[in-house]
Amino acid sequence: MFVRLTAAAAALSLLTGAALAQGAKPTDPQIAHIAYTAGVIDIAAAKQAISKASNKDVKAFAEDMIRDHEAVNKQALDLVKKLKVTPEDNDTSKTLSKQASDKLAELGKLSGAAYDKAYVANEVAYHKAVNGALETQLIPSASNAELKGLLQTGLKIFQGHQQHAEHVAAELK
């Protein structure tokens, strides 16, 4: 439990810290890149879960994640195309991707019920961290109204995922 909370807190402070370290709030092209990257990360985690999870609720949850995050990212791509914005890689995206690939490797070593629990616990922590970043950093920084709107929808979706993950976690105990 302590480890999980620490991981979530660390992810959150890295998310906001990296953006703040640039001395200015993230730009719309950077925000678009961060949001898209956050979705890609969760899709990769879900694909691993579909091949590794043993519990049917965990598998179903992973399928929900792929479906929703792909839908959000499709909307994001459509929007950046419409706005003629090119998503711009940045330190926050890089940090997120690095952390995610480490986590994927760590989870990859687990199996059975231990894997199921660790995946779902990480989903709770990850969505919590992303929601924190959306609320405190990305949404307030977004200048384009449509981008801000999409991020706000994203926040509601991910808050739903966090609650869903918490339910699944509670049932695994």
What are the residues binding other proteins (CB under 8 A)? Answer: 64, 67-68, 71, 74-75, 153, 156-157, 159-161, 163-164, 167
Question: C-alpha 168: how far from its chain's center?
Answer: 17
Q: How far is the CB of 135 from other proteins (least distance, A)?
A: 14
Q: How far is the CB of 154 from other proteins (least distance, A)?
A: 10
Is the CB of 44 or the CB of 157 nearer to other proteins? Answer: 157
| CA atoms of 104 and 102, how far apart (whole Å) | 5
Question: C-alpha 121: how far from its chain's center?
Answer: 13
Burial class (CB in 10 A: 0-12, 13-18, 19+), 13: middle
Q: What's phi and psi for 85, nearest 5 deg?
A: -105, 135
Q: How far is the CB of 80 from other proteins (least distance, A)?
A: 16
Is the CB of 81 or the CB of 167 nearer to other proteins? Answer: 167
Is the CB of 98 or the CB of 167 nearer to other proteins? Answer: 167
Q: How far is the CB of 54 from other proteins (least distance, A)?
A: 21
Specify the 3-state DSSP secondary structure of 170.
Answer: helix
Is the CB of 57 or the CB of 88 nearer to other proteins? Answer: 57
| CA atoms of 124 and 146, how far apart (whole Å) | 27
Q: How far is the CB of 159 from other proteins (least distance, A)?
A: 5
Is the CB of 6 or the CB of 163 nearer to other proteins? Answer: 163
CB 23 within 8 Å of CB 137? no
